Amino acid sequence: MLERWLETWKVSRLSRDLRVEFSPRLRRAFGRCYQSDRLIRLTPSLIGAQSYLMDEVLCHEAAHAAVYERYGADCQPHGKEWRLMMEAAGFEPRVRIPVVVRAGSAIRSAGRSAALFVHRCPVCRSSRKAPKQIHGLRCARCTREGKTVAMKIEAGRRARTRG
């Protein structure tokens, strides 16, 4: 499967160097791509998961490596080039996969509460939720407009998550 995607994306030379490994250290993501190291790490929880999930996560991470190989480091992580590669491989180009399996843990029930920190832009008032405080987080909207605005962290709160 991986070699077919690499051929489709016209980076078949990556098949010689691209390594895929499982790491129990991945707890908040299904996978990570380390482009300059030509390494994809996947969470072991994918081993027992539905095959479509493993395929989509592997394709997602391989597309990052392919974008880096073809276009260099200047592309956005989930930008136009990445989205086109995901579509060419037959997957919807999505950043998060809505499943009930959570990386590195047991099945997570839909609707279970999780603590979230709200990061809010003091200029445009846009917000972003995260499970931890991210100091120095910049507002994406203001950054696109040429402003450098640090988001303010509001107190953590319990929020309903969706499955």
Beta carbons within 8 Å of 64's beta carbon, 6+ residues apart = 33, 35, 77, 82
Between CA 159 and CA 7 the distance in angstroms is: 43
10 Å CB burial of residue 18 (0-12, 13-18, 19+) is: buried
Cite the active site residues.
Answer: 61
| Cβ atoms of 99 and 152 closer than 8 Å | no
